[in-house]
């Protein structure tokens, strides 16, 4: 047996289909905006961050540190990082920088040449070993192993296995160094190399002194080995790959708070913090909010268009069913019975709109963002957006159909509409006959066929029903 709701909907299938299609289109539009909007915001943020130099997206900390204070300083810095950055993931690399070593007079092109040994964490992840091996821990009576950049070894005419005796700049103590390997930096412009006083393959000249670096040694060489720790450096790299637009300003504030905490700490008075990351994050946040404002305007305009189309379709359906509703009311139909029929149709329309709009939003969102990762199923945001649009459509359909007119009201309204159409039709006919209006085609005679004839003293309507009343004839 066919349910009454289906039989009732079948009588106006074209209008019902238009309402459903309008609701599905609105739901698909909002589901697409929910997905594409998030993708556009994420891309705008990432493009702004990727366009920034790598050295501007890290927090660099450097300062003189002695061996007895190094562990305490490192612990205090990491505690401040966790306290200020909070839940934001970050990575930390550090380096221990030894006192400079003077090269023999036979090496270098200046009157004084020196190298600065460092022991950095993560060095192997940022370099490629060309020949030899990475430095091993120092052994008693054996030369200190050190790895040099390929360009520095070529400039100083050094190769793997070469042993040279250098002297410390302050104590003049001799140190035997053996070249254990040669490496090449994967990205010399990376922010990682702020851990070294001299970038890979480069030289720094101050007056008559030329420095070469970086010279990589084992960390054990600076903790009880032949080298003396002079300073240390830390590089904090926040994970910006998955940062949301709303988290940019809080993260910028956390970085600024970390800088202030380090500068105000008495235990870290010698550590200097350098970072332009707060400025980068603030600029990216401004770009994201500008894109969000443009998206909000587009969403509002789309909502107005969808609302207008849905109201038009629902109003047409209501006009078609006005006589039906009034007839049901005249035959004893209760208001809740009519409301149940209307609610059943509205719920079916909303369910189709929610499901169809969510899956249509997947296809439309994939077409608008072809480079994004394709979605196999609607996301939670798409379901929420489509569900909100479908719920709004359901409420509109129920609200428009709730006010069923009484039989008398429906008859009066349709009579007025019929009279209006009749007058408009006579005006068009009069205009087509060459006149300027209804009065040009009508002589405004007495209305024929009235019962009782034209009795004296009683006005009669015009024959063209133009709302004119002729005066009563004299007796």
For the stretch 337-358, pLDDT in tens is 666 767 777 777 777 777 777 7
Please give the model's pTM, rounded to 2 decimal places.
0.64
pLDDT tens digit sequence for 385-431: 777 777 777 766 666 555 555 555 555 555 555 556 666 666 666 66
CB–CB of 164/104 below 8 Å? yes
- CA 426 to chain centroid, in Å, comes to 60
Identify any residues that bridge with 139 across adjacent strands, giving them in sequence order. Answer: none
φ, ψ of residue 376 in degrees (nearest 5): -80, -30
Give the Cα-Cα-Cα angle 267, 268, 270 (nearest 5 degrees): 120
pLDDT at 415: 59
Higher pLDDT, 114 or 439: 114
* 9-13, 166-170, 386-390, 434-438: the lowest-pLDDT one: 434-438
CB–CB of 101/115 below 8 Å? yes
How many angstroms separate the CA atoms of 430 and 311, rounded? 35
Identify any residues that bridge with 470 across adjacent strands, giving them in sequence order. Answer: 460
How many angstroms separate the CA atoms of 406 and 327, rounded? 8
pLDDT at 14: 72
φ, ψ of residue 117 in degrees (nearest 5): -70, 140
238 pLDDT band, cuts 50/70/90, is confident
Most confidently predicted of 205-209, 281-285, 389-393: 281-285
Strand locations in 226-294, DSSP E? 229-238, 272-274
382 pLDDT band, cuts 50/70/90, is low
CA distances from 162 to 158, 216, 339, 373 (A): 6, 15, 95, 53
pLDDT at 73: 92
462 pLDDT band, cuts 50/70/90, is low
- Please report how the helices 322-330 and 407-432 are oriented relative to each other, as an axis angle in degrees rounded to 10: 150
Mean of the per-residue pLDDT values for the chain?
Answer: 76
CA distances from 454 to 71, 446, 463, 471 (A): 119, 8, 13, 11
Place of tokens 């035959």: 331
pLDDT value at 233 more than 70: yes
pLDDT at 370: 53
CA distances from 314 to 29, 31, 320 (A): 19, 22, 10
Cis peptide before 184 (omega within 30 of 0): no
Higher pLDDT, 361 or 69: 69
132 pLDDT band, cuts 50/70/90, is very high
CB–CB of 273/262 below 8 Å? yes
pLDDT tens digit sequence for 144-200: 999 999 998 988 889 999 999 998 888 888 999 999 999 999 988 888 999 998 888
pLDDT tens digit sequence for 32-72: 777 776 666 777 777 777 777 777 888 999 999 988 899 99
Eight-class DSSP state of 446: B
Strands 209-216 and 59-64 come out as unpaired
* % of the chain at pLDDT higher than 90: 19
pLDDT at 272: 92
pLDDT at 365: 64
How many angstroms separate the CA atoms of 212 and 151, rounded? 10
pLDDT at 3: 65
CA distances from 309 to 23, 316, 400 (A): 9, 11, 14
Most confidently predicted of 76-80, 244-248, 312-316: 76-80
CB–CB of 314/403 below 8 Å? no
Strands 144-149 and 174-185 come out as parallel
CB–CB of 119/96 below 8 Å? yes
pLDDT at 439: 44
pLDDT tens digit sequence for 217-231: 999 999 877 898 999
86 pLDDT band, cuts 50/70/90, is confident
291 pLDDT band, cuts 50/70/90, is confident
How many angstroms separate the CA atoms of 403 and 335, rounded? 9
pLDDT at 448: 47
- Segment 449-462 mean pLDDT: 49
Q: What is the gyration radius of the CA atoms in the chain, in angstroms?
A: 42
């Amino acid at each position: 047996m066919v349910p009454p709701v289906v039989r009732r909907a079948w009588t106006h299938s074209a209008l019902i289909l238009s309402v459903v299609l309008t609701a599905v289109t609105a739901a698909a539009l909002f589901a697409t905006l929910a997905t594409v909007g998030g993708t556009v915001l994420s891309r705008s943020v990432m493009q702004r961050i990727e366009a920034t130099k790598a050295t501007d997206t890290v927090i660099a900390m450097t300062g003189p540190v002695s061996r007895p204070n190094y562990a305490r300083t490192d612990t205090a810095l990491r505690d401040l990082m966790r306290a200020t950055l909070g839940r934001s993931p970050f990575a930390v690399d550090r380096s221990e920088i030894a006192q400079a070593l003077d090269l023999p007079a036979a090496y270098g092109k200046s009157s004084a040449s020196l190298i600065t040994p460092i022991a950095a964490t993560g060095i192997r992840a940022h370099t490629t070993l060309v020949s030899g091996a990475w430095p091993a821990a120092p052994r008693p009576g054996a030369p200190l192993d050190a790895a040099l950049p390929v360009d520095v070894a070529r400039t100083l005419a050094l190769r793997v296995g070469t042993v040279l005796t250098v002297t410390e700049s302050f104590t003049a103590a001799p140190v035997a160094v053996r070249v254990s390997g040669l490496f090449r930096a994967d990205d010399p412009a990376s922010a990682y190399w702020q851990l070294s006083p001299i970038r890979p393959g480069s030289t720094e000249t101050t007056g008559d002194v030329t420095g070469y670096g970086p010279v990589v040694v084992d960390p054990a060489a600076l903790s009880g080995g032949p080298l003396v720790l002079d300073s240390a450096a830390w590089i904090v790299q926040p994970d910006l790959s998955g940062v949301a637009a709303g988290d940019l300003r809080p993260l910028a504030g956390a970085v600024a708070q970390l800088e202030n905490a380090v500068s105000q700490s008495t235990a870290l008075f010698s550590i200097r913090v350098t970072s332009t990351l707060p400025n980068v994050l603030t600029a990216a946040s401004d770009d994201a909010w500008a894109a969000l404002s443009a998206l909000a305007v587009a969403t509002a305009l789309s909502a107005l268009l969808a609302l207008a189309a849905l109201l038009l379709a629902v109003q047409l359906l209501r006009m078609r069913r006005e006589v039906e509703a009034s007839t049901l009311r005249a035959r004893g139909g209760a208001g809740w019975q009519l409301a149940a029929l209307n609610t059943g149709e509205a719920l079916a329309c909303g369910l189709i709109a929610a499901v169809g709009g969510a899956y249509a939003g997947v296809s439309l969102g994939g077409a608008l963002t072809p480079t994004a990762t394709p979605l196999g199923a609607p996301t939670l945001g798409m379901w929420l957006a489509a569900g909100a649009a479908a719920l709004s459509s359901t409420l509109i359909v129920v609200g428009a159909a709730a006010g069923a007119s009484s039989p008398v009201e429906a008859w009066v309204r349709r009579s007025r509409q019929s009279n209006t159409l009749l007058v408009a039709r006579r005006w068009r006919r009069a205009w087509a006959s060459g006149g300027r209006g209804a009065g040009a085609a009508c002589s405004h005679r007495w209305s024929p066929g009235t019962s009782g004839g034209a009795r004296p003293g009683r006005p009669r309507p015009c024959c063209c029903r133009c709302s004119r009343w002729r005066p009563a004839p004299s007796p």
